[in-house]
Amino acid sequence: MDHSFVSAFVLLLLVLDPLGSLPIFISVLRGVAPERRRAVALRELGIAFAVLLLFMVGGQGFLSLMRLSERSLEVAGGVILLIIAIRMIFTGGGEIYAAEGTGREPFIFPLAVPLLAGPSAMATVLLLASRQPGRIVEWVGALSAAMAVSGVVLLAADRIRGWLGDSVVTAFEKLMGLVLTAVAVEMILAGLKRYFFGP
């Protein structure tokens, strides 16, 4: 399954799921002093971007080191995306992390990893870079754009949630989960096709 810049950007935005992350983001930062929240949020966004960029740039070397094929990565990435998408539709994106906001400033966990740079995002950037390594500049651009949009959404988390309301945010997350389900199934089918019938 080959991607364009736009489709890679949309896929990464779906995987990062900034709207679905709003409740967790707000909950985790609730215990942080108001004057520190913006700085903490920007730091965690930067860490998440660095982690995903590392996976993207070092993806081909990682595959070679682990003796993994692109086909197995495509199927595995599709399965992970499918699990995330099903959770988005039926339970809500990352509510399991909501209890972490208990009075101390978060560092890396749970905002940067795994809320933003989670297994599905890591698998996605690794897959993009391994399938079309000659277009790595496009993929870095798509990742940067998706992370920038996610950053804007998360920095305005309280305002957006107030404007839209919890029910609209939840409905939008479920809609994104449905789209991500189709993307995940397509990835799995493409990997199986390449495994059984070649390129």
pTM, rounded to two decimals: 0.77
Look at 3-7, 11-15, 126-130, 150-154 and tell me which has the smallest mean pLDDT. 126-130
What per-residue confidence (pLDDT) applies to 92? 56
- Was domain 5-197 assigned CATH 3.30.1490? no
Reported as a pLDDT band with limits 50, 70 and 90, residue 199 is low
| CA distances, 143 to each of 52, 64, 102, 123, 155 (Å) | 8, 23, 31, 13, 18
Tell me which range, 36-40, 62-66, 95-99, is most confidently predicted by mean pLDDT: 36-40
What per-residue confidence (pLDDT) applies to 39? 93
Give CA 180 to chain center in angstroms.
11
For residue range 127-148, list pLDDT tens digits in order.
888 888 889 999 999 999 999 9
| CA distances, 190 to each of 41, 42, 100, 129 (Å) | 36, 36, 37, 16
* 97/171: higher pLDDT: 171
Reported as a pLDDT band with limits 50, 70 and 90, residue 51 is very high
Q: Are 128 and 3 in contact (CB under 8 A)?
A: yes
Q: What are phi and psi of 110, to 5 degrees?
A: -100, 0
